[in-house]
Amino acid sequence: MARQKQCTLCGRKKSATFNNFYADKRGSMGLSPACKLCTKRRNAAYAKKNPDVIRNCLLQRRYGISAAAYDALAAAQHEACAICGTPRIDLKRGLSVDHDHSTGKVRALLCQKCNAALGLLNEDLAVAHKLVEYIQTHCISTTNG
């Protein structure tokens, strides 16, 4: 029979596997004290009660900036995408942090579409110029009349 471990939050005994508990070197049997289900519920409840803390932690971890720095950058950009100018209020997902993947330096805030386009172009200026030429040749005349 598989070894059993009791969750410290719900009190249920579950098989002591990575399917039921997160790995934790400090915990008994190398597993976290609370089961995955309870841990997820606890974390979700915390995130719901503390959205500003979560936002700040995510921005700090992913991009090395605080929520205050993000907000200052958004204000400097008039709360709009730095490329297309779409206002943040009109975006479903808000403004994405554009950063240099090699240095980690934050450049600007972009809408999802502009951020994706920049990534798909591999930030290659020659390809961007060719794209502009293509649009001028093949798209402008069809959209304007």
Distance CA 78, CA 75 (A): 5
Q: Provide the pLDDT for residue 1.
A: 61
At 69-126, the pLDDT tens digits run 999 999 999 999 999 999 999 999 999 999 998 899 999 999 999 999 999 999 899 9
Amino acid at 138: H
> pLDDT tens digits, residue range 95-110?
999 999 889 999 999 9
Taking the CA atoms of 75, 76, 77 and 82 in sequence, report the sign of the dihedral they define: negative
Segment 1-24 mean pLDDT: 93
Comparison of pLDDT for 141 and 81, the residue scoring more = 81
Residue with tokens 């402008």: 140
Class of the CATH-defined domain 50-143: alpha beta
Residue 40, CA atoms < 13 Å, CB-side half-sphere: 6
How far is CA 9 from each of CA 3, 26, 38, rounded to the nearest angstrom? 19, 17, 7
Which segments of the chain belong to CATH 3.40.1800.10? 50-143
Q: What pTM was estimated for this model as a whole? A: 0.72
